[in-house]
Structure 1
């Protein structure tokens, strides 16, 4: 034992070796302010930036060659692989047909959601909105506003009632309840995006953001009602509609994204189904008996029908993860790539960007906070319940 740290605690402080391996120096060296630069020496900073980035890029180039020559050819033979696994190419003619017959004829709808929140001592308000858009000129916007209501036990003693509120607010951010409310907001938004694709769109193809079987939905975010409704919507999407494509804009599955940089422009690769991801999630999440059984049934029955892949539309842009039904993965990849090629520098479906802009326009922070400020002013509260940080945003 060193420094008075109990052995059982010291055993958990294992990050120093990993820090050294990641950054090439001891954490104690990093934390020594005498070793930090004084001011901003641009020449020194830029020289180090150039060297570090150049070395990283060269390493990625070597890695790319190995992935193309050694890893891609082995994809169909992987354990638990499926026949569709492998690398494919989308031709310019296919892209042109997707533009003419699907995208620009309004046969593809995309949806994204947004959320804005205000939290103060008296009340918490959350606004969740989704927008459905297509190139056909039609769009829909739907929203829900949640008001957190604090309830204290009814008491004839004003002093006791005041103490109940003080204790409740003091413990709000310490316990499971507030964490679960934040999870609920994310889960509701994610659910609403998928539900809107099914019930508020009539397009032949539906496009969404992220993993269709998102963590928030397969876990229910801790809420049985959300789990049941989420699984019902996802089953309809997977087993009945089938014509969907979801594209991720996050740096998730970085190992797979590393493989994606080995793709040439116009190529995509099918990696695996979502079964293993779903099994890992359900195994690690704390469910009740009934909710765990529902989640397991869904993973085993539905996740094998959804495939995960990567596409790349330009040598100068990053690869993107996408998800599609196993029966329609080639057309789904063509749609995602055809929409992404419209902005090759971003290499992300334009329809999803348009949906996001529409959602922000209808339900953005500025409009939401404007309504909140006005309501406080009408209540003669002005800005006394706004934090300084909140007012600066």
Structure 2
């Protein structure tokens, strides 16, 4: 593969030293590691008192911050330097909400795509199942799946002793990506394939005028190809078709990646949304942070130059009982996209997240979830007379 990752591929936050630990947890790591500071046994009264103190203090601080953001920051979004077209704070009216529910959502004019992946790992073979569901309120538009079987490349060594050593070294390197093993890139590739499939199905298989997806439409897995030139090429071609042929889209993130923006989002009232920025700087950061070869860099640079400023990032809030959400939309349709996302999220105010995306994910888990997948895999191993010697039997600690 020509490209190599410079991003952390794990979901865990990167540790940045003792000062960062002290700033985050308000105590030295040395004190945390001192067993004299650890409680013996389970004293629920003391634990609950500490929880109440910490949670109460955090909420009080957030309420103060929310008031400052609402009074001082939100009114200036529209006029700040570099603000994209349509930037600012907006409110979805009850009349707009009713029109979107009756005229778009329940009329089947919005369809959503969501997917899952499950992986079974053993020494001789890894099996990954990718499942995608397309959903509208008129019913399921389709389900799609793909299965990947990963084996080590057969070692062709005339000496059986050398062949055994080669397999051991290969698998040991695979367990330690820092030694050059491919596992981290393979995980990134699996996410990239799923991200591509979700968006490709949204572009090619759906019929509704409005289309909804999860995450960032220009995810880094796609703009880098996850280290695979073929994935980069088809991804950029597909995203170009999304932008040109189907600009009425909205993508909503379920993650907490943009914690600074989400802090602003807590100052929103139900039914409000803000347009914050385009993806221009984010695209530049990806270009600067990934080691492309010359051809890949040119392809990514040309796409980002042509399209990153045409997608905007914003925030909406559907309910006081749910957190704010980050959304992405074409700049020409961003206001209606936000209204569609809010209207669908208001159907489940305790979640504050588009119900179409949740239903699509639930459909995936029903059809392609881990229970059915593991059952089929175990049955296949039994028929191969492999019994249980290749099964881990325990899930790893988190």
Place the TM-score, normalised by the shorter chain, in its bin: over 0.9
Query: RMSD value over aligned CA atoms?
Result: 1.7
Aligned counterpart for 1:284 among listed residues 285, 289, 306:
289
2:44 corresponds to which residue?
42
CA contact (8 A) 2:155 2:167 kept: no
What are the Cα deviations for residues 316-338 of structure 1, in whole angstroms up to 9, with x where unaligned? 21111111111111111111011
Which secondary structure state, in structure 2, belongs to the residue aligned with residue 105 of structure 1? coil
2:98 is the alignment partner of 1:96: yes
TM-score w.r.t. length of structure 1:
0.94
CA contact (8 A) 1:152 1:161 kept: no
Farther off after superposition, 333-342 or 137-146: 137-146
Cα 1:61–1:391 change in 2 (3 A) is closer
What are the Cα deviations for residues 107-140 of structure 1, in whole angstroms up to 9, with x where unaligned? 1111111111111111111111111011011331
2:274 corresponds to which residue?
269
1:63 corresponds to which residue?
65
Which secondary structure state, in structure 2, belongs to the residue aligned with residue 73 of structure 1? helix
Rounded Cα–Cα distance in structure 1 between residues aligned with 2:58 and 2:158 = 68
Which secondary structure state, in structure 1, belongs to the residue aligned with residue 314 of structure 2? strand
CA contact (8 A) 1:243 1:325 kept: yes
CA contact (8 A) 2:348 2:355 kept: yes
Which secondary structure state, in structure 1, belongs to the residue aligned with residue 394 of structure 2? helix
1:145 corresponds to which residue?
147
Rounded Cα–Cα distance in structure 2 between residues aligned with 1:171 and 1:262 = 48
Rounded Cα–Cα distance in structure 1 between residues aligned with 2:162 and 2:39 = 55
1:276-315 matches, within 5 Å, as 276-315=281-320
CA contact (8 A) 1:124 1:148 kept: yes
- By how many angstroms is 1:298 displaced? 1.2
- By how many angstroms is 1:239 displaced? 2.1
Which secondary structure state, in structure 2, belongs to the residue aligned with residue 346 of structure 1? coil
Unaligned 5+ runs, structure 2: 1-14
Aligned counterpart for 2:327 among listed residues 316, 322, 326:
322
Aligned counterpart for 2:243 among listed residues 238, 250, 255:
238
1:114-125 matches, within 5 Å, as 114-125=116-127
- By how many angstroms is 1:155 displaced? 3.5
Rounded Cα–Cα distance in structure 1 between residues aligned with 2:277 and 2:106 = 31
2:251 is the alignment partner of 1:249: no
Structure with greater Cα Rg: 1
Rounded Cα–Cα distance in structure 1 between residues aligned with 2:215 and 2:202 = 14
- By how many angstroms is 1:167 displaced? 2.3
2:342 corresponds to which residue?
337
Rounded Cα–Cα distance in structure 2 between residues aligned with 1:162 and 1:30 = 45
CA contact (8 A) 1:307 1:325 kept: yes
Which secondary structure state, in structure 2, belongs to the residue aligned with residue 269 of structure 1? strand
- By how many angstroms is 1:390 displaced? 4.6
Rounded Cα–Cα distance in structure 2 between residues aligned with 1:190 and 1:290 = 22
- By how many angstroms is 1:391 displaced? 11
Which secondary structure state, in structure 1, belongs to the residue aligned with residue 211 of structure 2? strand
CA contact (8 A) 2:236 2:303 kept: yes
CA contact (8 A) 2:173 2:181 kept: no
- By how many angstroms is 1:255 displaced? 0.4
2:167 corresponds to which residue?
165
Aligned counterpart for 1:113 among listed residues 112, 115, 122:
115
2:131 is the alignment partner of 1:129: yes
Which secondary structure state, in structure 2, belongs to the residue aligned with residue 28 of structure 1? helix
Farther off after superposition, 155-164 or 208-217: 155-164
Rounded Cα–Cα distance in structure 2 between residues aligned with 1:27 and 1:161 = 46
Runs (4+) of structure 1 exceeding 6 A deviation are none
Give the number of equivalent residue pairs.
381
Farther off after superposition, 251-260 or 165-174: 165-174
Structure scoring higher RCO (CA < 8 A, sep ≥ 6) equals 2
Which secondary structure state, in structure 1, belongs to the residue aligned with residue 297 of structure 2? helix
Cα 1:51–1:377 change in 2 (3 A) is same
1:32 corresponds to which residue?
34
CA contact (8 A) 1:246 1:323 kept: yes
What are the Cα deviations for residues 245-300 of structure 1, in whole angstroms up to 9, with x where unaligned? 00011111100000001111111000011111111111111111111121111111
Cα 1:133–1:158 change in 2 (3 A) is same
Farther off after superposition, 224-233 or 143-152: 143-152
Cα 1:57–1:384 change in 2 (3 A) is same
